[in-house]
Amino acid sequence: MRRIVFACQSLTGGNGGIARVDRLIAAVLQEKYNQSRVEVHVFSDARGDATTMDLRVPVRYYGSSRLRFALGLWYSMRSPGYWIYDAAYLARVHPRHGFGSRRPFMIFLHGIEVWEDARPSSIEACRRAHRLVSNSDYTLSRAQHCHGAFRNVRSCWLGTESDAQPTPNPAPSVAMPPTVLIVGRMDIREGYKGHDEVIRAWPDVLRAHPQARLEIVGRGSLLPALQQLASDCGVAGQVVFRGFVSEAQLADCYARAHVFALPSRGEGFGLVYIEAMRHGLPVVASRHDAGAEVVVDKETGLLADLALTGDLAAKLTWLLTNRDAAKGMGLAGQRRWQELFTYSAFKVRFSEVLDQALSEKTT
């Protein structure tokens, strides 16, 4: 039986996109463990939080001590196995020399951490990896454009953490104001997500739909600047910043919305897109990142060209004006989610990559 050591950031809900991918990977490993196909050990770099998953494999938490985390991993390399790192920055702890350097390892690539401003040590870890798994073709192509070709790399689209379709909620009433929803962190380090683009477009949207409302869910260091931007644009009364919300409250936000928008310039995949598709909303993404890989333009939503003045506002306005067409796009997106972006669909893709990696002769 092959032994797998999964080194990850966190398995707890609310800790960001990488943590959601960690739970997807852990769920697949748990299933393989249940089938007695692999022995699994999980090492979490979580800062004091425990998993929200019902895992029945050994999990070790190392709090805020990166040294203890590295030492624990190195100690695990006394025995043969296969190591999986959830991000390139975490794989830097894999030994460069000694017996541990011969242990094969896989890295899951997410996007920005392997693009233009990547740490040289992260790219060096990618060069040493036995296999790289990219969350999208876009992430891989941009990384290779920046750093040259990598060996043994496969793309593996992500999925939602469930196959279940959301409990049906009443559709937004015709009497309700046209509503666009944004869900995403607002950190200075992630200022590429497009919150500011939508706020700047909102005055033009309001000219066509004076009652339109923009709801923004999430928190982060950019929040004060975005609130000030809404005020400067004269739309503070039509922009609602809801901050962090519970899962139940978030479901209500999706149910109230007519359109989901996150015209980002730097999404490596965009888990929020498939979550919006799961809820049956048409999605406005951009042409400039992996949104164009997940969202099918004019079928499951619209792709905005952020370099073209007025294009984002025009696309938001069109969807709010053409309610029937927008609803049809939302239903098409839901069908695309059911076919390609459920947990089960991810499990099939990742299992194929993992089984192939484990079948190869390694030390």
Helix-, strand-, coil-residue percentages of the chain, each rounded to 5 = 45, 15, 40
What pLDDT does 99 receive?
A: 80
The tens digit of pLDDT for each residue in 83-105 reads 999 999 999 999 998 888 999 99
Instruction: Write down the domain spans for the chain.
Output: 2-162+342-359, 179-340
CA gap 330, 275 in Å, rounded? 12
Structure tokens at 329: 């796009």
Indicate the residue type of 235: V
Q: 3-state class of 122 per DSSP? A: helix
- Is the pTM for the entire model greater than 0.85? yes
- 182 has pLDDT over 90: yes
Would you state the pLDDT for residue 188?
A: 78
CA distance linking residue 35 with residue 107, whole number of Å: 24
Query: What's the confidence (pLDDT) of residue 230?
Result: 98
Please check whether residue 278 is in contact with residue 253, taking contact to mean a CB–CB distance below 8 angstroms: no
Q: What is the CA radius of gyration of the chain?
A: 21
Residue 52: per-residue pLDDT:
60
Give the number of other CB atoms < 10 A from CB of residue 302: 26
Q: Hey, what CATH class is 2-162+342-359 in?
A: alpha beta
Of residues 17, 20, 23, 19, the one with CA closest to residue 9: 19
Q: What is the pLDDT of residues 318-338, one digit of tens each?
A: 999 999 999 999 999 999 999
Reported as a single tens digit per residue, the pLDDT across 242-291 is 999 988 899 999 999 999 999 999 999 999 999 999 999 999 999 999 99
Measured CA to CA, the distance from residue 202 to residue 204 in angstroms comes to: 5
Q: What is the pLDDT of residue 247?
A: 87
Is residue 248 within 8 Å of residue 223, measured between CB atoms?
no
Give pLDDT tens digits for 21-55: 999 999 999 999 999 889 999 998 876 555 667 78
| Three-state secondary structure call for residue 7 | strand
179-340 shares the fold of 2-162+342-359: yes
Give CATH for domain 179-340: 3.40.50.2000
